[in-house]
Structure 1
Amino acid sequence: MRRGVLLDLVLTNKEGLVGDVKVGGSLGCSDHEMVEFRTLHGRIRAISRNTGDFRRATLGLFKNLLGRIPRVRALEGREVQESWSIFKHHFLQAQDRCILKSKKPSKGGRRAAWMSKELLEKLKGKKEVYRMWKKGLATWEEYRNVVRVCRDAMRKAKAHLELNLARDVKDKKKGFFKYISSKRKTRENAGLLLNEVGALVTEDTEKVELLNAFFALVFTAKAGPQESQTLEVGQKVWRKEDFPLVEEDWVRDHLGKLDTHKSMGPDGMHP
């Protein structure tokens, strides 16, 4: 603010994020007035979950325990759901006995997939050289050379990881899609929406109702003239002569031209 005139305005997309707004004195020799406020934000705690540590699992004992289950006597004369519940109970008991649990840290504490132990040592060395340079114990040229070495090593590590993922995508699909999903930026909330009358919708409940009503129009809206013509054409009775003729040689010729190195299609199967 300057002499009571508002110059800048800070907007938030949620209520209750900013509080205790006060207009203080001027900032140094400037004629602008300071605006003090307090950010109301709770502390984010790291979430840890227990997951199975399959590296230390005794799979031989696990197989023996499952083999001892009297399936015929225990499942005889029972319904499908009841049989599945009994088998699941014995399966989870054997799993808890043979597979140890370990804490799985949150995403913020995980190390990057391309980060190796050698590269981590180089980055620690770069921080040490930076501290020495700030204290005057190292020259700028030394720190610059270390930065360039670490930058090149990081680029090569990322390129090597992506090359391995692309090469082994058919055998290790899980690792490939896990790396792709980690690169996507997720949005916690939707932006502002306009309703039928042109008013802005800010509440989450109103946004959900508006989106549900919009997507429901696909099933509830009346068909237009072009859609009605399409429906009439779709009701045409097809005769045997109207179907396209597909010969075996034509299918074999197309199958022989498939590229086995291409990605899978919508059916989830590789060529």
Structure 2
Amino acid sequence: MDSEAAFDNYVMFRLDKDSPSGRGGGVILYIHESLSAVACHEINNSNDFNSSVWCLIELERNEKLLVGPCYRSPNSTDQNNRKLLEQLEQSAKVVNATHLLLICDYNFSEINWKQGKIESGGDTDEAQKFFDTTQDIYLVQHVIKPTRNRGTQKSSMLDLVFSRDEHMVNQIENLAPLGSSDHDGLFWEYETKSNFKEVDNETKSYNYPKGDYVKIKSHFKNVNWEEEFKDKTCNEAWNIFKEEYETTIQEHVPLKKKKSKKPPWLKSGVKRSIRKKYNMYQRYRKTQQYKDYEAYRKQSNITKKKVRRAQVDYEKKIMRDFKKKPKAFYSYVRGNRKLRQGSPNWRMTRVILQRLTKKRLMF
């Protein structure tokens, strides 16, 4: 469901990809609500390339920025490769799109972007076609450092950022990978003038204990859910219920200021370990020495264990203190049951309750 991947204050654009392995896949793009963004149906609905999603962001003077995150699998078929090239050409022809920002992992390690040539190895024919197409539509590639680094393997530049103007994108920074990934994170600035919408930056939440539940109950009782959900898909039915729920809550539950929260188990020792992991990765990026890569991987594993141990230890603690501090227990479970927006994460809830109830709670 869309609601399971949503974040507060961001508009989400996504495309899920069917995978034979059952592991899913696809692309997702988040645009802050202060920017006016809409889906670009001109591309999304007219091309069958299997992993991309496009949107248009309003700029000043009636200009628009076309943004598209895309992914091409190394096992991409000839037909999908052809669709990719067609989509690139189509992106250059979108009506009213005065600017373009393309973020992609096309898995063309054969392309040497610094020298503008195709090197031996891999699928050089498809790489040449892709490179020629980017030149034909006047795209500028901005990433200059390898984005995939793994031990003694040759580093490669797979993750790319394109625009139409070499001065629009600057200060691209390679960040440490997320989780177990061997691809760098990328951070950059895109210089343009946007029509920002006024957004209330003060984070607030609903004060549920002071809600008028008599009126809420009466409202939901009078809704003909059977008629509302008739002939609807699961996602459509959820969106109908969500809209009805949010409207009712807005009417009958007051707001209160919300304090930003970090995970209760995220203590200083864990944060130091995370910072050390990032610093060791930056050292490896500079030296490209295998010993520094091994040190980074070792620290990455240590950090994972510390995070898991800190979480488990905290859960054991709130379980031991349940009779004295039951609120801490229920608050932790609720915080993990619900995502920032949307439906309950029942799988996570089940895992937490299994952890917390391995030992019998004595009442």
TM-score range, shorter chain: 0.3 to 0.5
Q: Which structure has the larger Rg over C-alpha atoms?
A: 1
State the structure with bigger RCO (CA 8 A, min sep 6), 1 or 2.
2
More strand by share: 2
More helix by share: 1
TM-score (norm 1): 0.37
